[in-house]
């Protein structure tokens, strides 16, 4: 089994934010998180399809959602990864659960409306709920060394093997 990703030195939320602002090319392009992009597109498409599939207009919305989530999911994953060692954890987690979804869902709504998708309201409600849960969960997994990309990252298959233990620690409140 591959060794876990190395632990990062803690930094303040402000220092993490400054690093992202100072070098957005590194955060959003060089460190683009392909794991988050693929998994986001897969899971969001399933939820979005269930909530909205009612004909050709909805099918158009599903295609828009897949493309949108492939792009945005990688950016979100990169940003979450950049904040995974930020302290205090409650503030970094709050930023992940509130600021990211608010900005991304505005873009999502505009993309769906521009593509003339139907049943946008139902899809957006589901999307917001899934966002808050998935962003917090991904952020916790990244703090545990899973779902990260780049230097020290595990293979996706290794992430999946370590996933049950990480979920137990996250939801059971126990340390390994």
What is the rounded distance in angstroms from the CA atom of residue 154 to the CA atom of residue 1? Answer: 10
In a 13 Å sphere around the CA of 61, the CA atoms on its Cβ side amount to 29
Q: pLDDT class for 25, splitting at 50, 70, 90?
A: very high
What is the rounded distance in angstroms from the CA atom of residue 150 to the CA atom of residue 148? Answer: 7
Q: How far is CA 8 from CA 131, 142, 149, in A?
A: 25, 11, 14
pLDDT tens per residue, range 85-125: 899 988 988 887 777 777 778 887 888 888 887 777 777 88
pLDDT tens per residue, range 138-176: 889 998 899 999 888 999 999 999 999 999 988 886 554
């Amino acid at each position: 089994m591959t060794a876990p990703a190395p632990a990062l030195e803690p930094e303040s939320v402000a220092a993490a934010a400054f690093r992202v602002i100072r070098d957005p090319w590194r955060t959003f392009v060089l460190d683009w998180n392909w794991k988050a992009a693929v998994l986001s597109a897969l899971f969001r498409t399933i939820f979005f399809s269930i909530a909205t599939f009612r004909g050709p207009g909805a099918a158009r919305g599903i295609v828009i959602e897949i493309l949108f989530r492939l792009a945005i999911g990688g950016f979100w994953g990169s940003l979450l990864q950049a904040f995974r060692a930020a302290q205090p954890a409650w503030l970094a987690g709050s930023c992940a659960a509130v600021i990211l979804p608010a900005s991304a869902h505005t873009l999502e709504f505009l993309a769906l409306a521009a593509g003339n998708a139907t049943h946008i309201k139902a899809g957006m409600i589901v999307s917001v709920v899934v966002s808050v849960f998935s962003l917090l969960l991904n952020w916790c997994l990244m703090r545990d060394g899973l779902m990260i990309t780049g230097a020290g990252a595990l293979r996706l298959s290794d992430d999946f093997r370590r996933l049950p233990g990480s979920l137990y620690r996250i939801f059971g409140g126990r340390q390994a």
